[in-house]
């Protein structure tokens, strides 16, 4: 057992509290990582606001990178001192879904799922949110959640690979399998959406149309590879997209924000034989309405994309190589760095729309 500092949520919608808590030593198949950087994702904020429920007290944070500091039994391929990305994707490699290649849907119940490694100093169990709990100095995770980093890669951009990058990029290359010459629209140009934009550009899409309510984010989308940028407040986005595509619409619409209006409007941008890819997660209870007759008649599809259907051991090394070769932008996604004790200020900046990704550094 080790005592660490962490940001704790005791009540939904209230500021996080910086406290000392205890973290268990890694068990069989588990690894302890000293967190060096953890980016703030909107999913962390949704949880802290109570949008998805969950137990309390809880430690959020799931986009992390750091250094391996302790290793349990039955762990191979990882050594003390290794620099790693820490993801929330925990997989056994042998269950029904892992056998299908869908590691993000692994159905194994791990010891860490049954019992959190986190407790208060009085022994009270604390929730390790999203299987990570990285708004803390250390985490204990299963070995499958890790991907090694090269020594020359900084922790701040590396932390983004844990969720925002693999989710947005993977939705394009793994879920949709966008082909060269296809046309794409990306709804929402935050940390996830910009990675769908640059994923589509790298996949060879002939047209990458970015949509967002923020002019600053649309400017960023152009820098990340968007060929066109539309603000649905100031323009008729559906009419513009139809004009750009000879009246047909785009082959894929990636909805990367959890807003009802984004889901409701997605099919107005879509061609026949096209697909809407649901990437963003709305608060519980938010529903969208579609015309099933049109979907059937036009041979359209709705695809869910959890964590970009990522295979951690395959995709993160590939993304690292794209980054090192200058093909993938990561540094440009880091808006600001904050120490742990300023996490509430960092979250407020995200909520105010002032950041692509704010990163907590240790």
Going by the DSSP 8-state scheme, the letter that residue 76 receives in this structure is -
Q: Which superfamily is assigned to 165-306 in CATH?
A: NAD(P)-binding Rossmann-like Domain (3.40.50.720)
Residues of the chain with CATH 3.90.180.10: 2-162+330-361
Q: What are the residues facing 338 on neighbouring strands?
A: 360
Asked if the peptide bond before residue 57 counts as cis, ω within 30 degrees of 0, the response is yes
Residues of the chain with CATH 3.40.50.720: 165-306
| pLDDT score, position 353 | 85
Token output for 323: 């980054």
Backbone φ and ψ for 261, nearest 5 degrees, come out as -60, -35
| pLDDT score, position 121 | 95
CATH ID of 2-162+330-361, from 3.40.47.10, 3.10.129.10, 1.10.1040.10, 3.90.180.10:
3.90.180.10
Question: Per this entry, what is the length of the chain?
Answer: 362
Tens of pLDDT along the chain (362 residues)? 999 999 999 999 999 999 999 999 999 999 999 999 999 999 999 999 999 999 999 999 999 999 999 999 999 999 999 999 999 999 999 999 999 999 999 999 999 999 999 999 999 999 999 999 999 999 999 999 999 999 999 999 999 999 999 999 999 999 999 999 999 999 999 999 999 999 999 999 999 999 999 999 999 999 999 999 999 999 999 999 999 999 999 999 999 999 999 999 999 999 999 999 999 998 889 999 889 999 999 999 999 999 999 999 999 999 999 999 999 999 999 999 999 999 999 999 999 988 899 999 99
Q: Cα separation of 2 and 20, whole Å?
A: 10
Q: Which SS3 state, helix, strand or coil, does residue 106 take?
A: coil
Non-local (6+) Cβ contacts of 193 within 8 A are 168, 186, 187, 210, 212, 217, 221, 254, 256, 257
Non-local (6+) Cβ contacts of 320 within 8 A are 149, 150, 153, 158, 161
Q: Is 133 left (phi over 0), alpha (psi -120 to 50) or beta?
A: left
| pLDDT score, position 354 | 83
β-pairing, 207-211 vs 228-230, is parallel
């Amino acid at each position: 057992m080790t005592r660490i500092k962490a940001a704790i949520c005791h009540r939904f919608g209230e500021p996080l509290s910086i406290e000392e808590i205890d973290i268990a030593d890694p068990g069989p198949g588990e690894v302890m990582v000293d967190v060096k950087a953890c980016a703030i994702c909107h999913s962390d904020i949704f949880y802290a606001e109570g949008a998805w429920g969950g137990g309390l007290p809880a430690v959020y944070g799931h986009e992390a990178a750091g250094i391996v500091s302790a290793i349990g039994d039955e762990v191979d391929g990882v050594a003390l001192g290794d620099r790693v990305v820490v993801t929330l994707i925990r997989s056994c490699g042998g269950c029904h879904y892992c056998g299908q290649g869908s590691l993000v849907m692994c159905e194994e119940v791990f010891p860490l799922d049954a019992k959190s490694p986190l407790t208060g100093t009085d022994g009270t169990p604390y929730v390790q949110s999203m299987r990570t709990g990285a708004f803390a100095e250390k985490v204990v995770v299963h070995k499958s959640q890790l991907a090694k980093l090269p020594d020359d890669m900084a922790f701040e951009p590396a932390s983004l690979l844990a969720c925002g990058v693999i989710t947005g990029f993977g939705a394009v290359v793994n879920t949709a399998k966008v082909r060269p010459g296809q046309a794409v629209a990306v709804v929402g140009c935050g940390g996830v959406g910009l990675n769908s934009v640059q994923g589509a550009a790298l996949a060879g899409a002939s047209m990458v149309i970015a949509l967002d309510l923020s002019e600053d984010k649309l400017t960023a989308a152009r820098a990340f590879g968007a060929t066109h940028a539309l603000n649905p407040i100031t323009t008729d986005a559906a009419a513009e997209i139809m004009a750009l595509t000879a009246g047909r619409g785009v082959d894929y619409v990636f909805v990367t924000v959890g807003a009802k209006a984004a889901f409701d409007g997605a099919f107005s941008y879509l061609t026949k034989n096209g697909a809407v890819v649901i990437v963003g997660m709305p608060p519980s209870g938010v529903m969208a309405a579609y015309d099933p007759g049109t979907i059937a008649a036009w041979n359209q599809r709705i695809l869910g994309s959890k964590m970009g259907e990522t295979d951690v051991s395959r995709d993160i090394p590939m993304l690292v190589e794209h980054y090192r070769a200058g093909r993938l932008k990561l540094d440009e996604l880091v808006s600001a760095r904050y120490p742990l004790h300023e996490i509430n200020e960092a979250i407020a900046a995200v909520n105010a729309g002032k950041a692509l990704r704010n990163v907590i550094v240790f």
